[in-house]
Structure 1
Amino acid sequence: MNVMAKAEKKISSAFIYFFGSFGGILFGYDIGVMTGALPFLQADWHLENAASLVGWITSAVMFGAIFGGALAGQLSDKFGRRKMILMSAIVFMVFSVLSGVSPDMGEASAYYLIIVRMLLGLAVGAASALVPAYMSEMAPAKARGRLSGLNQTMIVSGMLLSYVVDFLLKDLPGEWAWRLMLGLAAVPALILFLGVLRLPESPRFLLRKGDEAQARKVLSYIRKNPAEIDQELASIKETAKEERQANQKTSWLTLFSGKYRYLVIAGVGVAAFQQFQGANAIFYYIPLIVQKATGQAASSNLMWPIVQGVILVVGSLVYMWIADKFNRRTLLMVGGAVMGLSFILPAVINWMMPNMNPMTIVVFLCIYVAFYSFTWAPLTWVLVGEIFPLAIRGRASGLASSFNWIGSWLVGLIFPIMTASMPQEAVFAIFGIICILGVLFVKTCVPETRGHTLEEIEEQGTNHGRVKASNPEN
């Protein structure tokens, strides 16, 4: 036992935060890898004119993630964040390999790959729900925005990694290229599994299960001041005590009770808007977007995903620099406004100047990606991790993640169908309008969370619910 305790004391806060957020690499790699694999897969399986089938192959992971996020969120309340992250890594490894060895059976191959990628999506969705919750529960309030932003840095680093892998493998024979691109996703999953084996459980989860001694030990790894540890433990215990006194038994209906409704709508709404704004249409289909704009073959445009990936990584680092200097709401509204204009202006310019340079739309997409990278991309997961009260955090994070993946799935599924039936500029203009609606949602429905403890945020939501209950006409 003493040996175990000494081993645990050697866990540094840097190690905890690094591997606590490393699940984002899996999330990001699988978002990005199909971008490069798809042109080769289309050619190998002769799917160039099968827009709906291409949409399903691309979006199958997101469809599975809808259920993975909700399931993992619920199970993490019972078994803990750490154990569920480990399980997600195992599932990710298995189905990444099965994707890479898809049998060549004609049209049946496509359906096999769709099913395998749906099952892979369970792990991707789980990671998207578990990592923000874990990181927010480990990070101190004053640095929660920056440390939770590590999740976004990991996601975009995973995307950039997949783009680079796609580019390096593009000269292989077509069948080998896409198979290796998909199968190599098992490598970061193995690294995540080995790293998380040494991670401690969340102190908030431990206290909820009555293990105060272990919760204090975990906080000692990541808080330097003993007084701060005592204060945080007392605050978490007080929240847990209030929940026990109310003899609260949470269910899915609990999320929309008067006490929690305001915060749940805010968190789930932001998560949904992030995807319906259309970012993943760029990330999944940028080679095909450039092909449609310029006429160049998609397989020769694999440098563009790398450009997008570099912008995303730089933007995530910019976010970590400004995260705790600006209010969350301000960044979301400014970012959403610029993103909306970046989508709408190409349609306006094309309407006024029909002979517009086709690369103009790609330039505006880069502007969109730049602002998305340090506003909506990281802040969505920061808010999802910090806005939900402890009693419902697992379920609510899972619900937000599921709505996020519903948006991602629908965008991935319908984008190739939409661009086959209307100009690209019109499709992006529709996404631009959704961006502006997202700004209005943040302005009217989302509270400010920067600098507040998780318990203070919960009190905000409770007080808002009481005001609404006493003033129903408002």
Structure 2
Amino acid sequence: MNVMAKAKKKISSAFIYFFGSFGGILFGYDIGVMTGALPFLQADWHLENAASLVGWITSAVMFGAIFGGALAGQLSDKFGRRKMILMSAIVFMIFSVLSGVSPDIGEASAYYLIIVRMFLGLAVGAASALVPAYMSEMAPAKARGRLSGLNQTMIVSGMLLSYVVDFLLKDLPGEWAWRLMLGLAAVPALILFLGVLRLPESPRFLLRKGDEAQARKVLSYIRKNPAEIDQELASIKETAKEERQANQKTSWSTLFSSKYRYLVIAGVGVAAFQQFQGANAIFYYIPLIVQKATGQAASSNLMWPIVQGIILVIGSLVYMWIADKFNRRTLLMVGGAVMGLSFILPAVINWMMPNMNPMTIVVFLCIYVAFYSFTWAPLTWVLVGEIFPLAIRGRASGLASSFNWIGSWLVGLIFPIMTASMPQEAVFAIFGIICILGVIFVKTCVPETRGHTLEEIEEQGTNHGRVKATNPEN
């Protein structure tokens, strides 16, 4: 026992934070991998004119993730964050392999892959919920902002990794190319599983289960002095007590009471707008977008996803640098305005200049991705983590996550259907209008949270509710 304790003692905080956030790699890899696999899959299964099937194959992961996040949150309260991350890695490995060995049995192959990717989505949704929870419970308060940025960096790094893998495999025979692209997702899942085997359980979960001695031991791995550990243990106990009391007094209807409605609408609205603005249409379909713009085969356009991935990684690093230097609302409004214009201007230019260079739309998409990467992409989850009062935080955060995944699923599903029935510039112009509506929403419905304590944010919401109740015409 002493030998094991000493072995665990050697685990560095860097190792814990790296593998604690490594689940973001799975999330990002599976978002990105279908980008490269889809052109080969379409050709191999003759799906070029089956827009709805293409949409379902692409979006099935997000459909499963809607349920995976909620299920993992409940199970992790019972079995622990660490065990559920391990389980997610196993599920991810199994269904990644099953994706790669999809049988070639005509149209039924597409339905097989859709079902398999729905189960894969359970693991993706679980990772998206469990990783931030584990990291927030392990990280010291002063480092939580940077570590939330680390999670975002892991996600976009996973996307970039998948784009590079897709590019390296593109010259294989069509069937082998897409099968290896999908199947190799099992490799980062295996790395995650092996890394998390050495991770400790979160001290917060251990305290909830009454194991204070083990919680103290875990904190000793990642905190500097005994006084800091004692203070944090006391704080966790107090917060857990408050949460138990809050959960006993609240229900789903509480979210829409006059006291909390303003903050719930703000947080859930930002989470929904992040996806309905159309970012994932680019991430999933950029080779097909370039193909439609230029006439070149999508399978020859796999350098463009890598360009997008590099922009996303750089943007996540920019965010970590500017996160606490600008107001949340300012970044969201500036980012949303530029994103909206990046979608609308190609349609305007094409209307005024019908012979517009077809690559113009791709350049504007790069501008969109750049501003999305350091504004709406990371800030949505920072704001969702800050804006909900303690009494409703669990339910409200779950509702925001569900709306986000629903938006992601719908965009992935309907984009190929929309582009099959109208000009590509018109489709992006619709998303651009949604971006502008998002800016208006932030301007009118979202309070500033930077520099405010959680109590001050709650007071803003409460006061806003009182004003609305007194002056309903406002």
Q: TM-score, normalising length from structure 1? A: 0.92
Following TM superposition, by how much is the alpha carbon of 1:250 offset from its aligned partner in structure 2, in angstroms? Answer: 5.7
Following TM superposition, by how much is the alpha carbon of 1:260 offset from its aligned partner in structure 2, in angstroms? Answer: 5.1
Q: State whether residues 129 and 398 of structure 1, in contact with CA within 8 Å, keep that contact through their aligned partners in structure 2.
A: no
| Structure 2 CA distance for aligned equivalents of residues 152 and 104 of structure 1 | 36
Following TM superposition, by how much is the alpha carbon of 1:420 offset from its aligned partner in structure 2, in angstroms? Answer: 1.2
Question: Aligned pair in 2 of structure 1 residues 80, 376: CA closer, same or farther (>3 Å)?
Answer: same
Q: State whether residues 64 and 120 of structure 2, in contact with CA within 8 Å, keep that contact through their aligned partners in structure 1.
A: yes
Question: Aligned pair in 2 of structure 1 residues 3, 400: CA closer, same or farther (>3 Å)?
Answer: farther
Following TM superposition, by how much is the alpha carbon of 1:62 offset from its aligned partner in structure 2, in angstroms? Answer: 0.9
- Identify the structure with bigger relative contact order (alpha carbons < 8 Å, sequence gap 6+): 1
* Segment of structure 1 superposing worse, 229-238 or 401-410: 229-238
Question: Aligned pair in 2 of structure 1 residues 60, 247: CA closer, same or farther (>3 Å)?
Answer: closer
Q: State whether residues 243 and 390 of structure 2, in contact with CA within 8 Å, keep that contact through their aligned partners in structure 1.
A: no
Post-superposition CA distance 1:292-330 (Å, at most 9, x none): 111111111111111111111111111122223333232
Task: Give the corresponding residue for 2:22.
Answer: 22
Post-superposition CA distance 1:86-109 (Å, at most 9, x none): 211111111101000001111111
Q: State whether residues 29 and 158 of structure 1, in contact with CA within 8 Å, keep that contact through their aligned partners in structure 2.
A: yes
Following TM superposition, by how much is the alpha carbon of 1:255 offset from its aligned partner in structure 2, in angstroms? Answer: 4.5
Q: State whether residues 275 and 407 of structure 1, in contact with CA within 8 Å, keep that contact through their aligned partners in structure 2.
A: yes
| Structure 2 CA distance for aligned equivalents of residues 455 and 411 of structure 1 | 36
Following TM superposition, by how much is the alpha carbon of 1:272 offset from its aligned partner in structure 2, in angstroms? Answer: 1.3
Q: State whether residues 72 and 398 of structure 1, in contact with CA within 8 Å, keep that contact through their aligned partners in structure 2.
A: no
| Structure 2 CA distance for aligned equivalents of residues 445 and 56 of structure 1 | 33
Following TM superposition, by how much is the alpha carbon of 1:227 offset from its aligned partner in structure 2, in angstroms? Answer: 4.5
Post-superposition CA distance 1:57-91 (Å, at most 9, x none): 11111111111112222222333322222211111
| Structure 2 CA distance for aligned equivalents of residues 132 and 92 of structure 1 | 18
Gaps of 5+ in 1: none
The percent identity for this pair of structures is 98
Post-superposition CA distance 1:224-256 (Å, at most 9, x none): 355444444444333333345567166544544
Question: Aligned pair in 2 of structure 1 residues 214, 252: CA closer, same or farther (>3 Å)?
Answer: farther
Q: State whether residues 246 and 392 of structure 2, in contact with CA within 8 Å, keep that contact through their aligned partners in structure 1.
A: no
Q: State whether residues 125 and 402 of structure 1, in contact with CA within 8 Å, keep that contact through their aligned partners in structure 2.
A: no
Task: Give the corresponding residue for 1:193.
Answer: 193
Following TM superposition, by how much is the alpha carbon of 1:215 offset from its aligned partner in structure 2, in angstroms? Answer: 3.5
Q: State whether residues 33 and 162 of structure 1, in contact with CA within 8 Å, keep that contact through their aligned partners in structure 2.
A: yes
| Structure 2 CA distance for aligned equivalents of residues 260 and 190 of structure 1 | 42
| Structure 2 CA distance for aligned equivalents of residues 269 and 426 of structure 1 | 24
Question: Aligned pair in 2 of structure 1 residues 4, 262: CA closer, same or farther (>3 Å)?
Answer: farther
| Structure 2 CA distance for aligned equivalents of residues 188 and 44 of structure 1 | 26
Q: State whether residues 207 and 237 of structure 1, in contact with CA within 8 Å, keep that contact through their aligned partners in structure 2.
A: yes
Gaps of 5+ in 2: none
Question: Aligned pair in 2 of structure 1 residues 191, 467: CA closer, same or farther (>3 Å)?
Answer: farther
Question: Aligned pair in 2 of structure 1 residues 346, 456: CA closer, same or farther (>3 Å)?
Answer: same
* Segment of structure 1 superposing worse, 24-33 or 232-241: 232-241
How many residues get paired? 474
Following TM superposition, by how much is the alpha carbon of 1:112 offset from its aligned partner in structure 2, in angstroms? Answer: 0.4
| Structure 2 CA distance for aligned equivalents of residues 310 and 260 of structure 1 | 39
Q: State whether residues 166 and 302 of structure 2, in contact with CA within 8 Å, keep that contact through their aligned partners in structure 1.
A: yes
Question: Aligned pair in 2 of structure 1 residues 298, 342: CA closer, same or farther (>3 Å)?
Answer: same
Following TM superposition, by how much is the alpha carbon of 1:444 offset from its aligned partner in structure 2, in angstroms? Answer: 3.3
* Segment of structure 1 superposing worse, 284-293 or 263-272: 263-272
| Structure 1 CA distance for aligned equivalents of residues 256 and 79 of structure 2 | 24
Question: Aligned pair in 2 of structure 1 residues 239, 18: CA closer, same or farther (>3 Å)?
Answer: same
| Structure 2 CA distance for aligned equivalents of residues 119 and 256 of structure 1 | 32
* Segment of structure 1 superposing worse, 110-119 or 206-215: 206-215
Q: Show the 5 A alignment for 1:363-382.
A: 363-382=363-382
| Structure 1 CA distance for aligned equivalents of residues 77 and 467 of structure 2 | 29
Q: Show the 5 A alignment for 1:190-269.
A: 190-224=190-224, 226-244=226-244, 248=248, 252-253=252-253, 255-256=255-256, 261-269=261-269
Question: Aligned pair in 2 of structure 1 residues 445, 221: CA closer, same or farther (>3 Å)?
Answer: farther
Following TM superposition, by how much is the alpha carbon of 1:467 offset from its aligned partner in structure 2, in angstroms? Answer: 7.2
Following TM superposition, by how much is the alpha carbon of 1:358 offset from its aligned partner in structure 2, in angstroms? Answer: 1.0
